[in-house]
Amino acid sequence: MAEKIPAENALYRAESELKYLKLLSGQFKNIGETTTEIINLQAILNLPKGTEHFLTDIHGEFEAFDHVIRNGSGAVKEKIADIFGNTIGDFEKTELATVIYYPREKIDLLSQGGRNIDMWYKTIMHRLIEVCSVVSSKYTSSKVKKAMPPDFQYILQELIYERKDIENKREYVESIIDTIISIGRAKSFVAAISKLIQNLIIDKLHIVGDIYDRGPSPHLIMDLLEKYHDADIQWGNHDMLWMGAAMGNTACMANVVRICARYSNNDILDEAYGINLLPLATFAMDVYGDDPCVQFTPKEGDKSEFMARIHKAISVIQFKLEGQLIARYPEYGMDDRNLLPKVDFARGILTLDGMDYELNDRNFPTVDPADPLKLTDREEEIVNKLRKFFLRSEKLQRHVEFLLTKGSMYLAYNNNLLYHGCIPLREYGTFQEVDVLGKKLKGKKYLDELDKIVRTAWLARDNYGKNKKYIDFIWYLWCGPYSPLFGKHAMKTFERYFIDDKVTHQENKNPYYSLYDKEDICDMILEEFGLNPTISHIINGHVPVKVRKGEVPIKASGKLFIIDGGFSKAYQKETGIAGYTLISNSWGLKLVSHEPFESREKAISEGKDILSSSRIVEDVKNRTRVRDTDIGRELQRQVNDLKKLLNAYRKGMIKERYKKLNA
């Protein structure tokens, strides 16, 4: 009996393979179609790998983010320099780059200056065609065609691929350009080809977490990402906070509103997402009208007492809601963060770890010392209204749907492991086991389970009563001690507001952050996620690299990159720069550091680009081809299957089909 099993298995495999090949023959109906596709795929495998662009911790800074996306972290200027060398001057190179970044705005500005715009159009269009021809050369013509705007698809194909060194073709190209200008379509054409160049300069965009909070325009970043040709997102804890709020998690909602108030960004809620803060504002003025709320003065923007009162009102509500969650789920291990019950309101003292600390603010008119976590009737009403607003915000729901569709806890892609915060570790360097809704998990299995929980919570948001354990857990991912998105033992928000002694503000990082400079630790993590540690890297965000203090973004001899360098203006005083980005192209890895972005207006009028400096952190001896990538490996599998189909046609195992000829 034992000898028959292999034969039966072989027969089953052969039958299954033939069944699959018959299905495949529905797409490739004969030898001709099959061989054409094999040739096509084999050619694609030998093209250079597309350029990947990595950014993290954008924190609502739309203008700087938008500019970096347009300039490809300096890739556009580098390409212009490579193409034109000394044949044009620095001013012309800067002007060409600015046109590629902001075509319509730059043309509008030049049109007001009395310049011979038609002559300028002719020159700039030739240069744009030259740049576009070069950047499109490492892609298939079909891929470039798909990236072209429909209005100019045929014209762009002609201009990019024609041999302009041949006399007849040169005249043909000149005629097309002259006609575009004469019929008044030059501005639209320049905008179209500039956008195409931007899209081809960067093939794939990776956002390694924290789109939201602190900065004023996360919604605009989300709008841009929705339209981007190819992007993925690894969730950060601030993204998760907004996702939880959109699912109706009240503790997440209170945190979102508090952070918006802290940075005077209420317009994000009110104007961008249609979340009405009037009930909260009215409540804040009624309850805290005689309280200057000094500790709650916003960090940025409107620092009025009115804003401070809103800030305090939602903060107290937040601490109550969080305390309720902590009490409901002792398995979170967060009782030390349930602080309102630890306050002696009569003396104005908070007891932490056996030590008494004096509160700098003793005005808690809505807190009942006998039941400090209970919301007042008006607070309850505000929370219920906010929950309805968050759940009914069409734009927020759409943005979070996009985060779910394009996002994940981590991504293993092209020999890189991307995640926002950390992989929780023990002090001695093994994976931390965590209780996740009754399951004890660690490493990759832990993150995979969290990914499932997030998606389950999203689908369950309309039925909180039945699924609250999933929706409630989203808050843990925001600030829980073993959340891979947070990576600290505690979030000390209460202490930062109410206790002056900064000893109490200390948030201890997970051991991961003291171990991630060790090569063996990085190797262990990469192997856990199925990657080869000899050729793979970890790309990480979350913790700003304080360049000013001598910190460096490259860890473990180049195995790990921390690319949070202070994109958020709130961090730039600490970091000394305005962020890192990472570029991975067919020649290797390049780390780019950025200076603060002045403004969109200066970029257009004066050509003020973000000053960036780059360094090659990894060179490859042989240029990386598509065949060396994840997509390439999938294409190779397709080639192998097509070769089997071709063999089946030739052996008569599958009958060829042909298109009927017209009679």
Q: Exposed, middle or buried, 163 (CB in 10 Å: 0-12/13-18/19+)?
A: exposed
pLDDT at 64: 87
pLDDT at 7: 64
- 3-state percent breakdown (helix, strand, coil) of the chain, nearest 5: 55, 10, 35
Indicate the domain borders of the chain. 4-47+628-650, 52-208+541-624, 252-392
Q: Nearest to residue 63, comparing CAs of 610, 635, 628?
A: 610
What percent of the chain clears pLDDT 70, i.e. is strictly above it? 93
Q: Tokens for 110?
A: 């030049």
Q: Tokens for 611?
A: 């000053």
Edge-to-edge order in the sheet of strand 349-352: 343-344, 349-352, 355-358
For 4-18, 350-364, 421-435, 615-629, which range has the lowest pLDDT when averaged over its residues? Answer: 4-18
pLDDT at 574: 67
**Amino acid, res. 134:** V
**Dihedral sign for Cα atoms in the order 110, 116, 118, 119:** negative
- Mean pLDDT of the 132-139 span: 90
* pLDDT tops 90 at residue 301: no
Rounded-to-integer distance, Cα 501 and Cα 14, Å: 73
Burial profile 291-312: b = 16 or more Cβ within 10 angstroms, e = fewer: bebebbbbeeeeeebebbbbbb
Q: Nearest to residue 567, comparing CAs of 199, 211, 72?
A: 211
DSSP assignment of 340-352 equals GGGEETTTTEEEE
Residue 427 CB neighbours (<10 A): 10
Which 3-state string (H, E, C) describes 156-185? Answer: HHHHHHCCCCCHHHHHHHHHHHHHHHHCCC
* pLDDT tops 90 at residue 621: no
Q: Let me know: does 495 contact 377? Beta carbons within 8 Å.
A: no
Rounded-to-integer distance, Cα 329 and Cα 598, Å: 47
Q: β-pairing, 231-234 with 204-207?
A: parallel
* pLDDT tops 90 at residue 411: yes
pLDDT digits (tens, 9 = 90+) for 494-534: 999 999 999 999 999 999 999 999 999 999 999 999 999 99
pLDDT at 660: 62
pLDDT digits (tens, 9 = 90+) for 49-93: 989 999 999 999 999 899 889 988 888 988 999 999 999 999 999
End-to-end CA distance of the chain: 59
H runs (alpha helix) in 266-376: 266-267, 278-288, 305-328
pLDDT at 228: 94
pLDDT digits (tens, 9 = 90+) for 172-225: 888 999 999 999 999 999 999 999 999 999 999 999 999 999 899 999 999 999
Q: Nearest to residue 187, comparing CAs of 132, 133, 106?
A: 106
Q: Nearest to residue 162, comparing CAs of 138, 136, 197?
A: 136
Q: Chain-wide mean pLDDT for the chain?
A: 90
- Mean pLDDT of the 468-481 span: 96
Residue recorded with tokens 């309280």:
291
pLDDT at 522: 97
Q: Nearest to residue 307, comparing CAs of 273, 275, 284?
A: 284
Distances (CA, A) of 448 to 159, 411, 484, 507: 48, 11, 12, 26
pLDDT at 403: 98
Element (DSSP H or E) covering residue 300: none
CA angle 175, 180, 181 (to 5 degrees): 100
* pLDDT tops 60 at residue 2: no
Residue recorded with tokens 């961008």:
272
* pLDDT tops 60 at residue 5: no
Q: Phi and psi for 509 in degrees, rounded to 5?
A: -75, 155
* pLDDT tops 50 at residue 1: no
For 396-405, 482-491, 614-623, which range has the lowest pLDDT when averaged over its residues? Answer: 614-623
Rounded-to-integer distance, Cα 560 and Cα 582, Å: 12
* pLDDT tops 50 at residue 417: yes
Burial profile 185-203: b = 16 or more Cβ within 10 angstroms, e = fewer: ebbbbbbbbbbbbbbbbbb
Which of 100-114, 131-145, 244-258 has the highest mean predicted lDDT (pLDDT)? 244-258
DSSP assignment of 236-284 equals -HHHHHHHHHHTT-HHHHHHHHHHHHHTT-HHIIIIIT----HHHHHHH
Q: Phi and psi for 131 in degrees, rounded to 5?
A: -65, -45
**Amino acid, res. 226:** E
* pLDDT tops 70 at residue 250: yes
Question: Against a cut of 0.85, is the pTM above it?
Answer: yes
Distance of CA 484 to the CA centre of its chain: 16
